[in-house]
Structure 1
Amino acid sequence: MSNLATILWRSAERFPGATSLVGKQGAYSYPELVKQVTRTGKMLSERSIEPGDAVLYQISNSPAVTTLFFAILSRGAVAVPVNPQWTSREFQVARERCHAKLAISEREDVSPDLLATCIEDLVTGEDVVEDGPVAREDADTAAVFFSSGTTGRPKAISLSHQNLMSNAEWVATRSLPSHAWGPGSHTCAVLPLSHSFALTCNQNAALYAGSALSYLDRFDSGELLNQIRNLNVSVTALVPSAASQLLDAQARAPGDVPLKYCLIGGAPISAALVDRFERAFDVTVVEGYGLTETSPVCAFRTPDTARKPNSVGVAAGHAELNVLDEAGRRVPSGTGELLVRGPGVCARYLDAEVATEDGWLKTGDLARIDQEGHVFIEGRLKDIIIRNGYNVSPVEVEQALEAHPGVDEAGVVGIADANVGEEIVAAVVVRSDAVTVEDLRGFCVSALARYKQPDRILRVASIPKGAKGQVLRDALRAKILT
């Protein structure tokens, strides 16, 4: 049986007395979690959810989102998590693209079929027969993630049960020493569990190993620090900006923390930040790299791997890494576009586009692999902006701004920022001086999720464009910086 949901049933058998989830309403043991997943799965079946059906959901980090994810998988259906910040328009577009048979949200304004409170209502429901997850094949789709693409239309990335299982297994068994995962250890989901980074490195790996999982429903560095101390959190995963803010919180409220390991990834990681974090918290930082198409971890520095400044580690044990050199040859070391192959690499997008060539995925990232296999990400061959670990398409932001009746054209670029990785900066040509920056900010609030909204909006006389009308982003970036 290849169903990813089997990890819960297995952990319930192996660790019946261990805590699985910790939420605002209390803690659940692994057997209690299996019962809750089974009740939720029954609710889905009563709504005619069958194997292969897509269930779209928009829920902040909580036991409910974990319960629903595994309930969907246990019925053989496909989980489609979307960001809690998404607007009604974004939610409905995703709903149509994945042909969701059922849409669930914690927000009434997106017009879901069900409100997420239906899951919480099942906590005290009647016991049901725990018949276990529906059998699935390795290649069957387990989840679909929406991630911004270079065309402005978010990519819908299909990850199979094998994709997610291979990544969860490697992170839970190989990324850290054996004592770091399992009963007695505790991890906190900080990034939204609609993000593949958090889904694998917080949720799936922890539950595979028998660890406890708690949640931060929205990022607040002070609240995170309190949770680490009060719940004895020993492992977590953060993007660089969150790590920096946690340092600031520690400076405001100094004291001991039980944290032992922290994975930092999702955006470029400075050696200075790693050094500050390790010294301030007396923890071991492990760096990693991945993308949604690789489930996501494909490069990692385990604690017993020598650190090289600015390296994201070496190929994770389940992945192969090469680069495409200037001659178009695939080579194991050198500089070029990073290529990934392995069981974590997706085979297709939702619309059946093939995502790989002979099993090798082109990442669009420029990388250097040294003779010892250490990977250094040196830039991107594509225009995607990475802000706080989220992929943001500049085209999507441009299209949103150009939908404003007072905007003639827009150009968007990422500008390096020590806090968030890249700042989203928009240059706009307006049709009238009456169109203010404040007007445009308000317009973006209704059109884009918060993490996609520009950090800065500049009114300009013109935007540099090429012969085909495309925004010349390097020229625009230079114009903004001068």
Structure 2
Amino acid sequence: MERIWLASYSPGVPADIDPEAYPSLREIFDRSCERFAERRAFTCMGATLSYARLDALSRAFAAWLQHEAGLERGQRVAIMLPNLLQYPVALFGALRAGLTVVNVNPLYTPRELRHQLQDSGAETIVILENFAHVLEAVIAETSVRTVVTTRLGDLLPTPKGQLVNVVARYIKRMVPPWQIPGAIAMPGALRRGAGLPLRDVPLGPDDIAFLQYTGGTTGPARGTILTHRNMVANLEQASAWLGDALREGEEVIITALPLYHIFSLLANCMTFIRFGGENVLVPNPRDIPGFVRLLRTTRFTAMTGVNTLFNALLNHPDFAELDFSSLRLTLGGGMAVQRRVAERWREVTGCTLLEAYGLTETSPAACINPLDLEAFNGSVGLPVPSTDISIRDSEGNELGIGEVGELCVRGPQVTPGYWGRPEESADAFFEGGWLRTGDMARVDERGFVYIVDRRKDMILVSGFNVYPNEVEDVLVTHPKVLEAAVVGAPDPDHGERVCAFVVTSGPGVTEEELIAHCREGLTRYKVPREIHFRTELPKTNVGKILRRALREEITQSRTGSAA
């Protein structure tokens, strides 16, 4: 497809960027630490790390990883942390040491954690002690030999940090008992690392920066390979798109989405590091009253989020009373932004909620709406610089303007494939390097992209992917479940909810029993919210369960109820 979208670009946005403007993310980080040394880099729970302090701590951690953990270039380090100051220290420490970061959802169950550690081959993990009991249950079945633990208040000033740790462990009982012989406390590792030299490990564009795990529609989560070139390219694309809208050394972005998620990792952490901005970390965005109190005391210029987060904030009675005079950029992604939410956001804040589109496989940005957009347009935007798109049919033939087909993407930010899965990697592309997104879309005459439907079976719960096969696999491990099918249903609070249809071997199985069973093996957002019992499930003539029929049934029932 010709680049018809270039004519719709905002003034000053280039058609192309240099994907090798920097050899690696490390050079971008080093440059910002030098240029913005005294400015704030990350703030959390009232404490702040300047760029100089982040530089020193991440350098110490990198040296410790090299010398005491004994890690060599390219080895994998898992990071299992929520949005705390420890996250950027661990992240940039690993990258500076020449290692590959494996981001891990802190809410994983033992089953999920076991798979990711086994699949990635990570030998070191940095983990909040609140979740250490989960690691304890599976560590013997993995390659992990070095465990670095940290507590909530470890990087907060004394005595606040000590108080936070005491409250978390003894009053709120947030730390289940755990025992991992040889585990090392992060503050100790940082102290020892401060006295060690940091070896200069050569890094280039083709070195792997991240193994970013995403669910597979036909199996367990798979590690998307994101090279330094991929990440640098997407960072340059985002920076070119933002242009003069961001003022170096002056921006403050609210980071409520978890940094282990690719959207927040690139859009918040990496992009605002490049511009010398400050990331205000929100460890628990589900606490909307607490979130609003934080916003009341913070002068923020930018914010990212998913539709459900924006909606929850708008529905809080005190949100409209906040000072939005400094807010100039709001970016929504991860799931579809609803028109009513975008329009209310504009009315309340005076700032347009810009929708973007991307995938883990595109590092993540593929399309973004122009910054000068005055109102919500229902589109996910225009392809970013150096990005080509094509709308294709199932045979790979390109379709025309306005026709609906699979959205395919090609550009320097696109993954080279999946870790250890050559066949799945090959299946993910059409000839010529075109990534098959699995999303149905159309393009209008100005080049704006409209997502018509998501992947056939994937469920989006508050911006997180839920893949039916994984939930079904857990359901059928219950001794009385014969068959299971999982679909998504519309949900006003979370976008979609997980619904399961099951066939059992006899009476006596309850909805509560099956939901409790799922909680043992699935992260909370993947657990079915409702169970429907059936004597049989609809199938094709070859025996494949027709999820589409179940999805239509439950959608129609919701529509009928609403009417």
3-state SS, counterpart of residue 293 of structure 1: helix
3-state SS, counterpart of residue 25 of structure 2: coil
Q: Which amino acid aligns with 2:391?
A: V
Look up the match of 2:304: 237
Alignment check: 8 A CA contact 1:150 1:382 kept = no
Alignment check: 8 A CA contact 1:158 1:348 kept = yes
Aligned mate of 1:44, from 65, 68, 72: 65
Look up the match of 2:113: 91
Alignment check: 8 A CA contact 2:209 2:227 kept = yes
Change (3 A) 1:250 1:124: farther
Look up the match of 1:211: 277
3-state SS, counterpart of residue 44 of structure 1: helix
Change (3 A) 1:321 1:37: same
Deviation digits for residues 56-82 of structure 1 (CA, Å, limit 9, x no counterpart): 121111111111111111111110011
Aligned mate of 1:277, from 345, 349, 361: 345
CA distance in 2, matches of 1:371, 1:273: 26
Q: Does 1:300 align with 2:321?
A: no
Per mean C-alpha deviation after superposition, the further-off stretch among 377-386 and 344-353 is 377-386
What is the TM-score normalised by the length of structure 1?
Answer: 0.94
Alignment check: 8 A CA contact 1:228 1:234 kept = no
Alignment check: 8 A CA contact 1:301 1:307 kept = no
Deviation digits for residues 78-115 of structure 1 (CA, Å, limit 9, x no counterpart): 10011111011111111110111212321221226424
CA distance in 1, matches of 2:278, 2:85: 11
Change (3 A) 1:19 1:328: same
Alignment check: 8 A CA contact 1:288 1:301 kept = yes
Change (3 A) 1:271 1:68: same
Look up the match of 1:197: 263
Alignment check: 8 A CA contact 1:6 1:132 kept = no
Aligned mate of 1:341, from 410, 417, 436: 410
Change (3 A) 1:340 1:252: closer
CA distance in 2, matches of 1:116, 1:167: 31
Alignment check: 8 A CA contact 2:305 2:332 kept = yes
Change (3 A) 1:252 1:296: closer
Change (3 A) 1:16 1:419: same
Per mean C-alpha deviation after superposition, the further-off stretch among 431-440 and 115-124 is 115-124
Change (3 A) 1:375 1:406: same
Q: Does 1:385 align with 2:465?
A: no
Post-superposition shift, 1:477? Answer: 1.7
Change (3 A) 1:169 1:225: farther
Q: Does 1:320 align with 2:342?
A: no
Q: How many residues align?
A: 481
Q: Does 1:78 align with 2:100?
A: yes
Change (3 A) 1:252 1:196: closer
Q: Which amino acid aligns with 2:537?
A: I
3-state SS, counterpart of residue 219 of structure 2: coil
3-state SS, counterpart of residue 447 of structure 1: coil
Q: Does 1:10 align with 2:31?
A: yes
Aligned mate of 1:170, from 218, 225, 237: 237
Post-superposition shift, 1:383? Answer: 1.4
CA distance in 1, matches of 2:400, 2:55: 44
3-state SS, counterpart of residue 116 of structure 1: strand
CA distance in 1, matches of 2:187, 2:280: 16
Q: Which amino acid aligns with 1:10?
A: R
Q: Does 1:455 align with 2:529?
A: yes
Change (3 A) 1:102 1:418: same
1:84-163 matches, within 5 Å, as 84-106=106-128, 107-109=131-133, 110-111=135-136, 113-117=146-150, 118-121=185-188, 127-128=194-195, 134-163=201-230
Q: Which amino acid aligns with 2:524?
A: R
CA distance in 2, matches of 1:130, 1:7: 21
CA distance in 1, matches of 2:349, 2:319: 14
Post-superposition shift, 1:275? Answer: 0.8
Q: Which has the larger radius of gyration?
A: 2
Q: Which amino acid aligns with 2:387?
A: A
Gaps of 5+ in 1: none
Change (3 A) 1:454 1:393: same
Deviation digits for residues 143-192 of structure 1 (CA, Å, limit 9, x no counterpart): 01111111131121110001111112322x23335243531211122111
Change (3 A) 1:181 1:387: farther
Aligned mate of 1:54, from 76, 84, 92: 76
Deviation digits for residues 329-383 of structure 1 (CA, Å, limit 9, x no counterpart): 2357332100101111001100142343322101000000111100000013431
Post-superposition shift, 1:130? Answer: 7.2
Post-superposition shift, 1:119? Answer: 3.1
Change (3 A) 1:326 1:384: closer
3-state SS, counterpart of residue 148 of structure 1: strand
Change (3 A) 1:230 1:306: closer
CA distance in 1, matches of 2:527, 2:535: 22
Per mean C-alpha deviation after superposition, the further-off stretch among 14-23 and 339-348 is 14-23
CA distance in 1, matches of 2:342, 2:290: 21
Look up the match of 2:436: 362
Q: Which amino acid aligns with 2:384?
A: A
What is the TM-score normalised by the length of structure 2?
Answer: 0.81
Q: Which amino acid aligns with 1:108?
A: A
Deviation digits for residues 371-414 of structure 1 (CA, Å, limit 9, x no counterpart): 11000000134311121111111010011111111212111011
Alignment check: 8 A CA contact 1:36 1:122 kept = no
CA distance in 1, matches of 2:319, 2:95: 42
Post-superposition shift, 1:261? Answer: 1.6
Look up the match of 1:69: 91
CA distance in 1, matches of 2:399, 2:294: 45
Gaps of 5+ in 2: 1-21, 140-145, 151-184, 558-563
CA distance in 2, matches of 1:152, 1:181: 44
